[in-house]
Chain A
């Protein structure tokens, strides 16, 4: 199971772009990369998922280099409400035989006025 490493915390200001990088050196061929957001005392919420190159949705972009050993979640123009913990997850593809979804400790993003 691919292990992920993220910064423990990051600080930003409203209106700035925030990039959170996750390293996953042992990512397997069939593994996907997924990011979740969690507010205090709430369940994690799916943000974005990708396999390679770039994925964009209405809230974020996910950049994955060709070697897939890392990925970067990009949050454009953050607001105070983006203050949360962000988790990077890799794997959990039943075809590869891995059946557990393992969360690391995530990155605590604090957005200030």
Chain B
């Protein structure tokens, strides 16, 4: 089944403890991206990648890192999480340009709480 898989689905952590949220897609998509969703603010893009070893900042990159060493994986790294990073996170992937027949495919989300 074509899908984007995020792990974990839920995570509670403490301030300053490094964490990684994994994202993997099995559709051979070039483009992958991370979003966070907060009440009243909608979906905001954190980072995106147009191919292996090619990453760039989205609208809210502060406090996050990403890497794209393989085409299928695009982990989101929080080196020193803070409470304002408590949010619902989504990973998405697509063929370049997002103009494929199904647009972007999103993962099921990771609900992160930083205390």
Instruction: Determine how close the nearest CB of chain A comes to the CB of B44; give it in whole angstroms.
Output: 8
Render A82-110 as a binary contact track against B, CB cut-off 8 A, 1 for contact.
Answer: 00000100001111000111111110000
Q: How many residues of B contact A (CB 8 A)?
A: 31
Chain A CB count within 10 A is highest, among B43, B58, B59, B108, for B43
Kindly state whether residue B75 has any CB partner on chain A within 8 Å: no
Q: Are B103 and A93 in contact (CB under 8 A)?
A: no
Binds A, one of B66-74, B77-85, B89-97: B89-97
Residues of A close to B106: CB separation below 8 A: 43-45
A34 to B102, CA, bound (A): 10
Instruction: Determine how close the nearest CB of chain B comes to the CB of A59; give it in whole angstroms.
Output: 12
Render A34-46 as a binary contact track against B, CB cut-off 8 A, 1 for contact.
Answer: 1010000111111
A-B contact count (CB 8 A): 67
Instruction: Determine how close the nearest CB of chain A comes to the CB of B103; give it in whole angstroms.
Output: 4
Kindly state whether residue A49 has any CB partner on chain B within 8 Å: yes
Kindly state whether residue B114 has any CB partner on chain A within 8 Å: no
A44 to B109, CA, bound (A): 10
Residues of B close to A36: CB separation below 8 A: 103-104
Q: Are B103 and A34 in contact (CB under 8 A)?
A: yes
Residues of B close to A99: CB separation below 8 A: 48, 50, 56
A106 to B42, CA, bound (A): 8
Instruction: Determine how close the nearest CB of chain B comes to the CB of A41; give it in whole angstroms.
Output: 6
Residues of A close to B109: CB separation below 8 A: 41-43
Render A2-31 as a binary contact track against B, CB cut-off 8 A, 1 for contact.
Answer: 000000000000000000000000000000
Binding site for B on A (CB under 8 A): 32, 34, 36, 41-46, 49, 87, 92-95, 99-106
Binding site for A on B (CB under 8 A): 4, 31, 33, 35, 40-45, 48, 50, 56, 58-59, 88, 90, 92, 96-99, 102-109, 111
The 4 lowest CB-CB distance pairs between A and B, nearest first, are A43-B106, A46-B103, A103-B43, A105-B42
